[in-house]
Structure 1
């Protein structure tokens, strides 16, 4: 049962967080427009595309910087409570500091659920639109950069088939030095090679040039050689070299299936995809950690007032984001555990939250 005091603090919690978003998002849009307006004019970007981009930008921007917005909003209104001696009055009435935290934890729960659901379903679509626009209109050679590593592509299609191409061109939909090997009980039973393989959109087939198929037999191998042959395969070459930001654009169920498929194919980008998956769960948890730190830091009336609390808050918030980004990149570019990298900030700042909370109670 929520008391009048709980409702008062919870209302301030959510209202200040909402106001912080409404205040900083337009600033972010203005800065982004000022940086990209020349490129947009130069590339004659349709107004509707720009409008959709900034709709997606708003969601993408708010999700990326939500920890900072949340932390600063709590620092802001809790410092005002402390400066007005409201917190002293609340604790002086016999309410424990732990009980005082109740509306904050409820607020953090509401924000966490909202961020969790958005991360599962809303943010992926916004990320897709945001990145597609950037790579299409704003980056030189963007369409080529959208693709992953298209050289020396080696994939395990299933338990029996292994594919290799030396190079894949996303524009011409053509690959070179194609090889498809099929195994049965660790023994090769057939191998198809071609100097080039081209995707045919109309009939959804592939044309193989300098086609050679070798079928291994007990009494002798059967070899088929043709200058050109049309073949239907179950795979699509473009799926073997997904765009660099593909994981960000997938809903939770799609992402789990995608990671499972990429593991079977032997993808070298598994760590990148795992970081995206783990962040869907770690970011909502950070709402609780940052809430506790913010309350512990700002609930004491300091000589420097709200300015001092905000300075401490900004330093802590940017420290959190810094560690999150650094360890995320470390996991993507090395063999460092993606799970540990993603949760490192929550673990370190969770320990800090416990320490600050114990001091605040005293």
Structure 2
């Protein structure tokens, strides 16, 4: 019994070691490829006059040390899958899997080692996704906004926003550079009854006092059958809305940890934002993507544990096909659910549900 337990520990240690070494090696290779291709794509941006304020050190520390982990973390589950496919098929081709089975270790006992390792990687990936990567994104996105991208813009017209339970803001257009809303109006209701309406030529955000300065305004106050009309050239007022709420990029949510993102979504729901579904997709995929590493680990083991004609090459080719299919299904699901009335959680988890079914079939058919 002691000998068998010692043998199991030795096998577990061997599998975990191979798993982690292959996983880390694949990440290092990918990081190198990412950097090479990204430098070739952005070399003009880095040498442009706009980026003259960024030193080589800034590019390395502020950009690449935050950009590479972000990209790797986005597709961590796929690196786990490829790693499992690679080292397991290599073991199968050398008949190591068969030798392990012949020593008395069952198929499911060996799979358990894979799953426990995948759960450990899932936990690390979840920690990175929820808390670490958003902090890194703040530095990366700030660098991109300063030295790579053009200034943010807001290209929507005729925007309506609910700013509290009884108040609504409307503006025809918004200029991010000038922090100015044009053809601005503010409406307040008592139940279904309009009690206050302000129309103005434009409203300018004062970042010093965190107030809106409303110019050339006309106000209509309604109290039953009584109305009061007045106007003016300038009015300073505090509203539950800021220019950052109008930025067209969704990168802002990438800088929020999970708690901040949940609070942000609740505020956006209260305001009646049209982009709430996109924010909810971001929130739910932060769990769905890391969890996929467990599903894909089981799938990879079920595929690669058998010795087939074509060996490692066949396994890797099939693994890459499944990877690209997973990415394609995921992106299609995310876009569809963000633009439809489909339940957000269901839509985001559809790729994992599909691959869980495929994994169950492969697991059932795997030689044991």
| TM-score where L is the length of structure 2 | 0.92
**Counterpart check, 1:353 vs 2:359:** yes
Structure 2 residue matching 1:335: 3-state secondary structure: coil
**Counterpart check, 1:162 vs 2:162:** no
Q: CA deviation at 1:7?
A: 1.5
Equivalent residue, structure 2, for 1:320: 326
Q: CA deviation at 1:236?
A: 3.5
Equivalent residue, structure 2, for 1:66: 76
Q: CA deviation at 1:131?
A: 3.7
**Counterpart check, 1:93 vs 2:103:** yes
Q: CA deviation at 1:129?
A: 3.6
**Counterpart check, 1:278 vs 2:284:** yes
Please point out which of 40, 44, 53 is paired with 2:51: 44
Pairing 1:17-166 to 2, within 5 Å after superposition: 17-42=23-48, 43-45=50-52, 46-47=54-55, 48-51=57-60, 52-139=62-149, 142-145=150-153, 147=154, 149-166=155-172
**Cα distance change on mapping 1:109 and 1:34 into 2, 3 Å:** same
For the residues of structure 2 that align with 1:219 and 1:278, how far apart are their CA atoms? Answer: 49
Contact 1:10-1:106 within 8 A present in 2 as well = no
Structure 1 spans left out of the alignment, 5+ residues? none
For the residues of structure 2 that align with 1:212 and 1:49, how far apart are their CA atoms? Answer: 50
For the residues of structure 1 that align with 2:262 and 2:238, how far apart are their CA atoms? Answer: 24
Equivalent residue, structure 2, for 1:293: 299
- Kindly provide the CA deviation profile for residues 140-165 of structure 1, in whole angstroms up to 9, marking residues without a partner as x: xx2134x4x54222111111111111
Q: CA deviation at 1:207?
A: 2.0
Q: Which runs of 4+ in 1 moved over 6 A?
A: none
Contact 1:190-1:215 within 8 A present in 2 as well = yes
Pairing 1:163-178 to 2, within 5 Å after superposition: 163-178=169-184
For the residues of structure 2 that align with 1:116 and 1:315, how far apart are their CA atoms? Answer: 25
Q: CA deviation at 1:361?
A: 4.1
For the residues of structure 2 that align with 1:287 and 1:200, how far apart are their CA atoms? Answer: 47
For the residues of structure 2 that align with 1:262 and 1:204, how far apart are their CA atoms? Answer: 19
- Kindly provide the CA deviation profile for residues 252-290 of structure 1, in whole angstroms up to 9, marking residues without a partner as x: 111111111111111111121111011111112101110
Contact 1:167-1:175 within 8 A present in 2 as well = yes
RMSD: 1.8
Q: CA deviation at 1:222?
A: 1.5
Structure 2 spans left out of the alignment, 5+ residues? none
Structure 2 residue matching 1:195: 3-state secondary structure: strand
Equivalent residue, structure 1, for 2:198: 192
For the residues of structure 2 that align with 1:27 and 1:213, how far apart are their CA atoms? Answer: 60
**Counterpart check, 1:240 vs 2:245:** yes
For the residues of structure 1 that align with 2:222 and 2:282, how far apart are their CA atoms? Answer: 43
Q: CA deviation at 1:62?
A: 0.5
Contact 2:164-2:240 within 8 A present in 1 as well = no
Structure 2 residue matching 1:151: 3-state secondary structure: coil
Q: CA deviation at 1:134?
A: 3.7
Structure 2 residue matching 1:279: 3-state secondary structure: helix
Equivalent residue, structure 1, for 2:187: 181
Contact 2:158-2:170 within 8 A present in 1 as well = yes
Please point out which of 197, 201, 208 is paired with 1:202: 208
| TM-score where L is the length of structure 1 | 0.93
Q: CA deviation at 1:136?
A: 4.1
Q: CA deviation at 1:132?
A: 4.0
- Number of residue equivalences: 357
**Cα distance change on mapping 1:284 and 1:204 into 2, 3 Å:** closer
Q: CA deviation at 1:179?
A: 0.9
